[in-house]
């Protein structure tokens, strides 16, 4: 296990010498006392003075601090403790724009209260209605030194704490013995108990009495320790900048929404991006890439987006631009997409004319050493320089480079972007290291002839990539939403230093804007690995370089829940079938099914692993087809959830306790989850198992109905809960535009035997509502009324064994309707 101050050792140059500090030493520090307290409406300020002899544990205790407390909304208190005498690092607004500062609210109207004792200074956050203490520094003095900050709160015993990522621990953190280190790093194999790519210093704590959240806005390296009955922050710089969120006494999703009010709600992504993505590092050449596309098609597995890795840049002989452009054109003419990796490194070619380097040098955008020379590092491409995203010219530079390199007429017309950074090699002598490591790598095989036929075998059938029943690509402007299906139900269906922490996020913003500039007005997809709080406003996230093994398969669910439910980065998924090492037919088949219920569904692996496209094995092919059938049928349902996430911050996937907050059995569960609001997913998690034991909260759950007849139009599924009612929503738009000129927003509610479908129907879907399926109907109704008129016998089918009642509707989705079971 990592010692608590390992990072601090790096940061302050060995002062700690690796000492593990006795908590009693920290608790014996003097803390501060508050004076000059001023309260004005929803704002409190005070001076904090060191209350005794300095303990100087990791530096010199700062003698005088400034406290500012603001009741920013009825649900949010901002507590900021700064050192007025020195400029300490604060996360800039460009990395995380602060919520707009409206007038502070009156404490008497707030759901939580800030309370304090003056000497020694301690503070607590209480729920206003019940005076329940949510956070309290009592008996744990605050320590504030140049490179060490410590705040410790007591917790209830056996507390339910979620978040504080990125990590590969269980979703519910062990409250008695956990140390989480937040500091971005490339974490090959994503080992448990170590820091990973992302930094999200926020947690949601769930209790039987309610759910609240705490966000420490600080991007310095930190260790957060959960020990029996306490949570302790140990931060190596910056300021104490806390946001306390009341959440709710009854609805955990409120805590998620209130966090989104600070960091922003997630960007909406294009409709097509919910389709299947295929990628690998190490496609051999352009023929290989075309072969994957053809073979998916031949296997009848609907591939939406083909991705390629960095090989394209490194090896133009193997991936000639003209042939790659042909592949991209082919994809686009088949309503498919293309995504390519973009790294921030720019090849260092000071002596030859290389546009990206020359333009960046002219604009002065590259990171510099202290003496003003270019900061050189080493990545796959060789010795390189990096844009400094805080440079005023960096955005224009990046936008220009995107418009040149990804020019649709002369370059590769990408549909989305995949960004990453490879910065983990200590670059003391990058030129020599490049020679030692043979970078760029040399190939042992010759490149293929530049004019080999592609898409010829199997013969390309026009549009054959889009197996019609899976058609999801058709939501482009002017396109046709011809195969919309939607499901909506209430109850559920069991089935199956700062710089590294911020570099990824600032690059994400620059890339998102550069992509938007290429296709003005249209949404895009940017996927990255390194994220800081607020990243979801710009990018989605893949969970990094995991292994093709069953533990990683299972852990990916906790990883997804952290990102999507807590950190507001909902476009998330792990590398399906595993990135490193060799997968197996059975693991890849299971993972295809699991991955169909990640928000972001991408099969991806390493150059050293065996090929793992779903069509490589019969079992995996079938599993992928079944799972994609389900996923594509639920696409509008999930798209609706995503739209709501953008509007309100409500999570698109969530743990069971979000829906059943009083059911203590659900608190530790992280192998089952809700996909959207209503679909409970419980995958098989053991190798060679064909069944799984699952936990069902006390409610009514239905098997998700298999589709018997192919439904091209919308289909609504009504699945009443224990109270006999159900409700749901459907959101439809053109799938790609940022500003929508027409939207359809439908509310369904089933109460007392009547389904009412109401809403606004601005977007012309051009399709009908084919039918409504009622689940859990124990006997055939005497008659069924559609808009008050009896439905003819042939329009109704009832299956006693499955208790499913199908009612044909056949109305265009241009106005509401009612169906009554009499």
Ligand X SMILES: *[C@@H]1O[C@H](CO)[C@@H](O)[C@H](O)[C@H]1NC(C)=O
Interface residues with ligand X (CB under 6 A) are 1, 115, 117, 126, 131, 168, 177, 190, 196-197, 264-265, 267-268, 288, 291-292, 295, 350-351, 369, 371, 373, 480, 482, 523, 543-544, 546, 552-553, 555-556, 559, 574, 646, 687-688, 738, 766
> Considering only CA atoms, which of 206, 216, 208 is closest in space to residue 247?
206
What sections of 649-793 are H helices per DSSP? 656-659
* Burial class of 217 by CB neighbour count within 10 A (0 to 12, 13 to 18, 19+): buried
Q: Is 776 left (phi over 0), alpha (psi -120 to 50) or beta?
A: left
CB of 792 to ligand X, least distance (A): 24
CB of 628 to ligand X, least distance (A): 18
Which residue shows structure tokens 């195969």?
483
Instruction: Give me the DSSP letters along 218-249.
Output: --S-EEEEEETTEEEEEESSS-EEEEEEEEES
Nearer to ligand X, 211 or 384 (CB): 384
CB of 703 to ligand X, least distance (A): 27
Residue 666 φ then ψ, to 5°: -80, -20
* Burial class of 306 by CB neighbour count within 10 A (0 to 12, 13 to 18, 19+): buried
CB of 263 to ligand X, least distance (A): 9
CB of 76 to ligand X, least distance (A): 16
Nearer to ligand X, 3 or 295 (CB): 295
Nearer to ligand X, 574 or 717 (CB): 574
Distance of CA 221 to the CA centre of its chain: 21
Nearer to ligand X, 82 or 168 (CB): 168
Nearer to ligand X, 117 or 436 (CB): 117
Nearer to ligand X, 478 or 752 (CB): 478
CB of 51 to ligand X, least distance (A): 15
CB of 750 to ligand X, least distance (A): 29
CB of 563 to ligand X, least distance (A): 8
Nearer to ligand X, 268 or 413 (CB): 268
Please tell me whether residue 144 adopts helix, strand or coil conformation: strand
Strand partners, 737: 522
Nearer to ligand X, 291 or 721 (CB): 291
Structure tokens at 101: 């500062």
Give the separation between CA 8 and CA 149, rounded to whole angstroms.
Answer: 11
Which residue shows structure tokens 């409500």?
650
CB–CB of 807/715 below 8 Å? no
Nearer to ligand X, 611 or 802 (CB): 611
Nearer to ligand X, 373 or 778 (CB): 373
Nearer to ligand X, 18 or 97 (CB): 97
Which residue shows structure tokens 């309290």?
136
Nearer to ligand X, 463 or 756 (CB): 463
Residue closest to ligand X (Cβ): 559
CB of 680 to ligand X, least distance (A): 20
What is the 3-state secondary structure of 635-677? HHHHHHHHHHHHHHCCCCEECHHHHCCCCHHHCCCCCCEEECC
How many CA atoms within 13 Å lie on the side-chain side of 214?
24
Structure tokens at 328: 């991209």
CA distances from 176 to 156, 195, 273 (A): 11, 19, 40
| Other residues' Cβ atoms within 10 Å of the Cβ of residue 115 | 13
CB–CB of 493/719 below 8 Å? yes
CB of 135 to ligand X, least distance (A): 12
Contacts of 814 by beta carbon, 8 Å cutoff, 6+ apart: 761, 764
Rounded to a whole number of angstroms, the CA Rg of the chain reads: 28
CB of 573 to ligand X, least distance (A): 8
Nearer to ligand X, 91 or 805 (CB): 91
CB of 459 to ligand X, least distance (A): 12
Nearer to ligand X, 556 or 654 (CB): 556
Nearer to ligand X, 238 or 518 (CB): 518
Contacts of 437 by beta carbon, 8 Å cutoff, 6+ apart: 378
Nearer to ligand X, 129 or 706 (CB): 129
CB–CB of 574/560 below 8 Å? yes
Nearer to ligand X, 470 or 553 (CB): 553
Nearer to ligand X, 73 or 555 (CB): 555
> Considering only CA atoms, which of 626, 418, 363, 423 is closest in space to residue 541?
418
CB of 447 to ligand X, least distance (A): 16
Distance of CA 11 to the CA centre of its chain: 29
DSSP type of residue 272 = G
How many CA atoms within 13 Å lie on the side-chain side of 366?
24
CB of 611 to ligand X, least distance (A): 7
CB–CB of 772/807 below 8 Å? yes
Strand partners, 96: none
CA distances from 4 to 142, 152, 199, 333, 614 (A): 17, 14, 17, 55, 43
Give the separation between CA 669 and CA 267, rounded to whole angstroms.
Answer: 28
CB of 342 to ligand X, least distance (A): 20
CB–CB of 84/48 below 8 Å? no
CB of 107 to ligand X, least distance (A): 12
Please tell me whether residue 266 adopts helix, strand or coil conformation: coil
Q: Is 438 left (phi over 0), alpha (psi -120 to 50) or beta?
A: left
CB of 737 to ligand X, least distance (A): 8
> Considering only CA atoms, which of 199, 233, 247 is closest in space to residue 91?
199
């Amino acid at each position: 296990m990592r010692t608590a101050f390992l990072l601090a050792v790096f940061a302050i140059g060995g002062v700690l010498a690796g000492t593990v500090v006795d908590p009693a030493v920290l608790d014996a520090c003097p803390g501060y006392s508050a004076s000059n307290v001023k309260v004005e409406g929803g704002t409190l300020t005070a001076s904090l003075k060191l209350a005794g002899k300095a303990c100087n544990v990791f530096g010199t205790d700062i003698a005088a601090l400034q406290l500012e407390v603001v009741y920013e909304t009825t649900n949010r208190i901002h507590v900021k403790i700064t050192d007025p005498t020195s400029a300490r690092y604060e996360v800039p607004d460009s990395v995380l724009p602060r919520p707009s500062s409206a007038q502070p609210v009156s404490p008497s109207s707030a759901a939580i209260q800030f309370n304090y004792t003056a000497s020694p200074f301690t503070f607590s956050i209480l729920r206003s209605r019940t005076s329940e203490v949510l956070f309290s520094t009592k008996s744990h003095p605050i320590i504030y030194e140049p490179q060490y900050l410590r705040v410790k709160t007591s917790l209830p015993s056996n507390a339910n704490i979620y978040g504080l990522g990125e990590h590969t621990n269980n979703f519910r953190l062990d409250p008695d013995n956990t140390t989480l280190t937040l500091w971005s790093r490339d974490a090959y194999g994503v080992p448990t108990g170590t820091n990973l790519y992302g930094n999200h210093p926020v947690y949601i704590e769930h209790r039987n009495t309610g759910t609240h959240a705490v966000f420490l806005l600080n991007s310095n390296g930190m260790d957060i320790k959960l020990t029996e009955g306490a949570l302790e922050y140990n931060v190596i710089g910056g300021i104490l900048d806390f946001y306390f969120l009341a959440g709710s006494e009854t609805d955990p999703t409120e805590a998620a929404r209130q966090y989104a009010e600070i960091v922003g709600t997630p960007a909406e992504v294009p409709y097509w991006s919910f389709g299947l993505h295929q990628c690998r590092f190490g496609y051999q050449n352009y023929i290989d890439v075309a072969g994957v596309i053809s073979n998916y098609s031949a296997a009848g597995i609907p591939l939406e987006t083909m991705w390629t890795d960095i090989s394209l840049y490194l090896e133009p002989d193997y991936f000639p631009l003209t042939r790659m452009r042909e592949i991209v054109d082919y994809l686009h003419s088949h309503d498919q997409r293309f995504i390519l990796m973009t790294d921030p490194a720019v090849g260092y070619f000071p002596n030859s004319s290389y546009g990206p380097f020359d333009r960046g040098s002219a604009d002065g955008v590259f990171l510099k050493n202290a003496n003003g020379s270019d900061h050189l590092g080493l990545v796959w491409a060789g010795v390189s320089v990096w844009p400094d995203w805080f440079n005023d010219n960096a955005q224009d530079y990046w936008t220009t480079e995107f418009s040149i390199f990804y020019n649709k007429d002369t370059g590769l017309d990408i549909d989305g972007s995949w960004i990453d950074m490879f910065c983990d090699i200590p670059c003391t002598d990058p030129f020599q290291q490049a020679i030692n490591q043979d970078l760029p790598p040399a190939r042992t095989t010759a490149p293929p002839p530049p004019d080999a036929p592609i898409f010829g075998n199997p013969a390309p059938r026009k549009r054959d990539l889009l197996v019609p029943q899976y058609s999801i690509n058709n939501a482009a402007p002017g396109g046709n939403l011809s195969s919309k299906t939607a499901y909506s139900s209430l109850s559920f269906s069991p089935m199956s230093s700062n710089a590294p922490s911020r570099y990824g996020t600032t690059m994400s913003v620059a890339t998102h804007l550069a992509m938007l500039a290429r296709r003005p007005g249209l949404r895009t997809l940017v996927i990255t690995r390194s994220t800081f709080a607020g990243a979801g406003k710009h990018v989605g996230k893949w969970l990094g370089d995991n292994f093709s093994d069953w533990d990683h398969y299972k852990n990916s669910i906790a990883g997804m829940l952290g990102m999507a439910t807590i950190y507001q980065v909902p476009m998330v998924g792990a590398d399906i079938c595993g990135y490193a090492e060799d997968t197996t037919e059975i693991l890849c088949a299971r993972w295809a099914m699991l991955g169909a219920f990640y928000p972001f569904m991408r099969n991806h692996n390493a150059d050293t692993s065996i090929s793992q496209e779903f069509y490589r094995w019969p079992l995996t092919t079938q599993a992928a087809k079944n799972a994609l059938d389900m996923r594509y049928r639920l696409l509008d349902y999930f798209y609706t959830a995503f739209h709501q996430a953008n509007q309100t911050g409500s999570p698109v996937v969530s743990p069971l306790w979000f829906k059943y907050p009083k059911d203590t059995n659900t608190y530790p569960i992280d192998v089952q989850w809700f996909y959207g609001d209503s679909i409970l997913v419980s995958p098989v998690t053991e190798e060679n198992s064909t069944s799984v034991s699952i936990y069902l909260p006390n409610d009514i759950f239905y098997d998700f109905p298999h589709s018997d007849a192919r439904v091209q139009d919308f289909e609504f599924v009504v699945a009443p809960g224990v109270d006999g009612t159900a409700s749901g929503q459907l959101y439809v738009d053109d799938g790609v535009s940022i500003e929508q000129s027409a939207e359809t927003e439908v509310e369904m509610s089933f109460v007392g035997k009547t389904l009412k479908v109401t809403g606004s129907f601005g977007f012309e879907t051009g399709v009908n509502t084919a039918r409504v399926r009622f689940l859990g109907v124990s006997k055939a109704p005497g008659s069924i009324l559609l808009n008050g008129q009896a439905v003819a016998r042939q329009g109704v089918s009832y299956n006693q064994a499955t208790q499913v009642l199908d009612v044909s509707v056949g109305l265009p989705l241009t106005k509401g309707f009612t169906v009554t079971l009499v």
